[in-house]
Amino acid sequence: MGFETFFQALQERRFPLEFPGHFIGGEWSLDPKSEVLQGSFNPSRGDAIVKVLVSKKLLESAVDAADQAQKDLSAMSMEKRLEYLARLRQVITDYRTLIVDALCIEAGKPRWEAQADFHSACQQLDAVLAESSRIRESLLGPVRLAWPDTEFNLQANGITVAFLPFSTPLATFVQTFAGALIAGAPLLAMPSSHAVLSGVLFGCVVNQLELPKGAVNIVFGNYQTFVKILQDKRVQAVIYSGSREHCDTIRRDYMGQISRVLLLQSGGKNSVIVDSEADVKESVRCVMYGVIKNAGQLNTSTSQVYIHESKLEAFKKEMVRAVRALRIGPTDGTEDPHLGPLYAQKAVDKFLRYQTMAKREASDTWVWGKVYNTGTAGYFVTPGVHFFADMDSSSSYQSNVLMCPDVAVYSYRDVDQAIQASNNTEASLVTSLIGPVERTKPWVSQLRAPNVLLNLPTVGMDVNLPVAGRKLCGDYRLNGLGIAYLLAYPQACQSSVRELTEFAAWPQLD
């Protein structure tokens, strides 16, 4: 199947599609001895979209191609790298319709959300390009201190392998592409098995950039495939966003490789604190957006809300009304619901287990999340909203990152109670403060979350957060283009040192 036929079949929803192969070394590759992986499904209907064919030979050839590209990338000037980024911005725009369609069909995103994701990715590239004149100096800034006469350069750590999660394939691709290219590191990107359509489109985009062959490779697989690539010692940086269990396994198995950089991110237990003077309707709108965007499957999704006791009853009434007003439905057609499907049946099963726990433990279940019938075989649920009089850190429901459209609500009398409860999480990523800024801004310094948003939902910046997570949801600090700093190291070149008289005064050897 040629790509024109592939694209037409995608737009006409004629599934399953024929797998076009892996983008390796500047060309599309298949191995007749490949094993068949499950591939991706349409979460709105449960139908197969495309299966993936992969082999050990293809994985090795991808690492070989990346390895061979290192010399060309190292010799490439920063100006040339930025030209490629500008070209990426142009070509992605050419693929806008197809990329948005892929996000709707495969990731289960409503069209409003898919379009917002596309706009956010373009904004991310625009922000990088707007700083083009300062990027190199900013990345070298810390090492330049007190060494004005020394020449510094950036050297790439080496091959970077990045996993593209189903929930944010476009944003993660743009972020890792930009970071690796600026660092001069060859990139091997692996879309989730639930993001194959997006990955194929990214391969087509890269093919049009005319980068050095092997500079960016797109290889398809699943988590098991991903960790097989990590066994190759030429891989010097790993970027992974996924479950805490997967992150822990990668950290345990590869932390001993001293030269390898691990950038691991799992879901955050994200909080919203609502001030006593906040507008209730706007607060609920902010919370609901954080709960239902991408069906609660983002690292930044809202997990818990702390509402001042004076607002509790009004907040409850408005939350229940908002949940009942949600439009829930398929995202692969002309409909544009508020809430789309979960990514798979196993996500529905997990959601229902947590609903049972929550109903058993909660002081009051405001809305019990259930399976929602849309007339299709998709993976739809209604959000769950549960009120707890007390926080119980031993509760599996209250302490775990759920990754589904569900929220726990707590009340507080003194804001210090809410701040302490929010700080007690072991997976801190985002905390949102809702209310008059002059009242909530002083709370920021007391919060441990690396990202604090004022009058914005916790998902307000998605993967474009300025800072990565803390503790169990992340083990590095820099995010966005800052990952370029983590994928490279500074190299000093010195021919003379000011006022260094020791060597000149050393006696001659004759």
Q: Helix (H, G, I), strand (E, B), or coil: what is residue 256?
A: coil
Q: How far apart are CA 146 and CA 328, in angstroms?
A: 59
pLDDT in tens, the chain (510 residues): 578 888 999 989 999 999 999 999 999 999 999 999 988 999 999 999 999 999 999 999 999 999 999 999 999 999 999 999 999 999 999 999 999 999 999 999 999 999 999 999 999 999 999 999 989 888 888 787 777 778 888 899 999 999 999 999 999 999 999 999 999 999 999 999 999 999 999 999 999 999 999 999 999 999 999 999 999 999 999 999 999 899 999 999 987 777 889 999 888 899 999 999 999 999 999 999 999 999 999 999 999 999 999 999 999 999 999 999 999 999 999 999 999 999 999 999 999 999 999 999 999 999 999 999 999 999 999 999 999 999 888 898 998 899 999 999 999 999 999 999 999 988 889 999 999 999 999 999 999 999 999 999 999 877 678 777 777 777 666 777 788 888 998 888 877 655 556 777 788 887
Q: Helix (H, G, I), strand (E, B), or coil: what is residue 32?
A: coil
Q: How far apart are CA 362 and CA 357, in angstroms?
A: 8
Residues 268 and 427 sit within 8 Å (Cβ to Cβ): yes
Q: Are strands 159-164 and 187-191 parallel, antiparallel or unpaired?
A: parallel
Residues 363 and 352 sit within 8 Å (Cβ to Cβ): no
Residues 74 and 159 sit within 8 Å (Cβ to Cβ): no
Q: How far apart are CA 356 and CA 346, in angstroms?
A: 16
Please provide the DSSP assignment of 261-307 as one string.
EEEEE----EEEEE-TTS-HHHHHHHHHHHHHGGGG-STT-EEEEEE
**85 Cβ partners below 8 Å, 6+ apart?**
125, 128, 129, 178, 181, 182
Residues 307 and 274 sit within 8 Å (Cβ to Cβ): yes
Look-up of token digits 């031993």: 394
Tokens coding 280: 């209730």
Residues 366 and 386 sit within 8 Å (Cβ to Cβ): yes
Neighbours of 249 (CB within 10 A): 15
How far is the CA of 237 from the CAs of 56, 84, 188, 233, 243, in angstroms? 20, 22, 10, 10, 19
Q: 22, 79, 66: which is closest to 185 by C-alpha?
A: 66
Say which DSSP state 86 is in.
H
Q: How far apart are CA 195 and CA 187, in angstroms?
A: 18
**What is the four-CA torsion angle of 92, 93, 95, 100, rounded to 10 degrees?**
100
Q: How far apart are CA 291 and CA 299, in angstroms?
A: 11
**Residue 28 β-bridge partners:** 23
Q: 166, 173, 415, 406: which is closest to 304 by C-alpha?
A: 406
Q: What is the pTM of this model?
A: 0.94
Look-up of token digits 């809305």: 367
Say which DSSP state 19 is in.
P
**195 Cβ partners below 8 Å, 6+ apart?**
40, 106, 107, 164, 165, 166, 169
Say which DSSP state 317 is in.
H
